[in-house]
Structure 1
Amino acid sequence: MSVATLGAVLWALGGIAWYVIRYPFERRARRTQVVLNRRSPVDMCGLGAAMLGMGLVPAIYVATGFPASADYPAGAFRVVLGAALFFAAVWLFRRTHKELGKNWSITLEIRDKHKLISGGPYSLVRHPMYTSFLMMAVGQALLLANWFVGLAGLAGFAALFFLRVDREERMMLDTFGTDYRDYMDRTKRIIPFVY
């Protein structure tokens, strides 16, 4: 098996793991009443961009090799580093879902009996799920030796993050007030101690 094929296989396995983690939370979320919904076209554009850049574009590349014109030589070190980063991201993605439990939602929503979660990975950053997406995007760029596919993942993450995070934090401030403000004062957004 070539290094490039190994990178593609590892990306696909990571994508399957991501879906296996997410699916039960999506099912459970449908059964929990929504008390505040701030879903918007902007929110949906961010989600669509992330799914395109971190899901559809790399899946097409892995399945077909398109666009091969943007390929570059795959390196074993990059694939190993990409796999470590991608699977650490999947682990963090699972932890964030477990911490959120019934509070989790794919869009900007507050659930019935919603609680402010500040333990586990949320003790280090306010948005560890976005941290996991950033790690996945960088891992994708390292695993799949194609400039277009690598940039698509990073662009998809950036669109999701910059279109949503400010609105999400406003919603949390409106819901939790000074408790969320205090939480913001002691944590960074997605990179511990940095940003």
Structure 2
Amino acid sequence: MGKMMVAALTRYPLFLMLGLAAAAGIGLLDGEPWLAGNGFLLLMGASLGLAGALLLLTAAGLFRRVGTTVDPTKSPDELVTHGIYGLTRNPMYLGMLLLLVAEVCLLGRPLTLLSPLCFFVLMNTQRIPAEEAMVEARFGAAFTEYKVRVRRWL
């Protein structure tokens, strides 16, 4: 595994990586594909996967350009509210969710439907509220106003 891959994996909480690995594992273990060869699902999966990757990379790139951390366990140095962050407060997580939905389309395996659902629930109940509390403690009213103006997901 290259140094860049190791560095990327250490930037996100362990449960995110475990969730993505579990999604792949579920997909591989779930018997025969139920819609294998469905051109529409393959096209949708490829499109969603590309959109998710671009969204994730664009959002992370914007954080890097303004000089703040992409590590969700660390308090950011800057409150980013422009660009893609003017449309969604969590474009990186939205990108990850799109990648998981793309996996459902591409693998065509019923149990992979659990992956995006579990990811969404965990993000909404655990990770995002913890991040929002940290960011609100750091930026106060500016973040509160941003939360009113921009939705969590879309």
TM-score class, shorter: 0.7 to 0.9
Give the drift of 1:150.
3.1
Give the Å deviation of 1:55: 2.9
Residue 120 of structure 1: CA displacement? 1.0
**What is the aligned residue count?**
148
Alpha carbons of structure 1 residues 84 and 124: separation in structure 2 relative to 1, 3 Å: same
CA distance, structure 2, for counterparts of residue 182 and residue 141 of structure 1? 36
1:142 lines up with 2:96 in the alignment: no
Partner of 1:110: 75
Q: 1:167 offset after TM fit, Å? A: 1.3
SS at match of 1:68: coil
The residue identity in structure 2 corresponding to 1:124 is: L
Kept in 2: contact 1:53–1:154 (CA 8 A): no
Structure 1 unpaired stretches of 5+: 1-19, 30-42
TM (normalized to structure 1)? 0.65
Q: CA deviation at 1:23?
A: 6.4
In structure 2, how many angstroms separate the alpha carbons of the residues matched to 1:188 and 1:153?
A: 19
**Using a 3 Å threshold, how does the CA distance of structure 1 residues 81 and 26 change in structure 2: closer, same or farther?**
closer
Contact 2:89–2:150 (CA under 8 A) maintained in structure 1: yes
Query: Is the contact made by 1:96 and 1:121 (CA closer than 8 Å) also made in structure 2?
Result: yes
* Bigger shift: residues 93-102 or 158-167: 158-167
Secondary structure of the corresponding residue to residue 168 of structure 1:
helix
Stretches of structure 2 lacking an aligned partner (at least 5 in a row): none
**Which consecutive aligned stretches of 4+ in structure 1 deviate over 6 angstroms post-superposition?**
22-27
> Equivalent of 1:185, from 130, 148, 151?
148
What is the TM-score of this pair, normalised by structure 2? 0.81
CA RMSD of aligned residues (A): 2.7
2:91 maps to 1:91: no
Structure 2 CA distance for aligned equivalents of residues 56 and 80 of structure 1: 24
What is the distance in 1 between the residues matched to 2:140 and 2:107?
Answer: 43
2:34 alignment partner, one of 72, 79, 93: 72
CA contact under 8 A between 2:63 and 2:70: conserved in structure 1?
no
Name the larger-Rg structure.
1
Matches of 2:9 and 2:20, distance apart in 1 = 19
Structure 2 residue identity aligned to 1:83: A
CA distance in 2, matches of 1:99, 1:108: 18
Q: Secondary structure at the match of 2:40?
A: helix
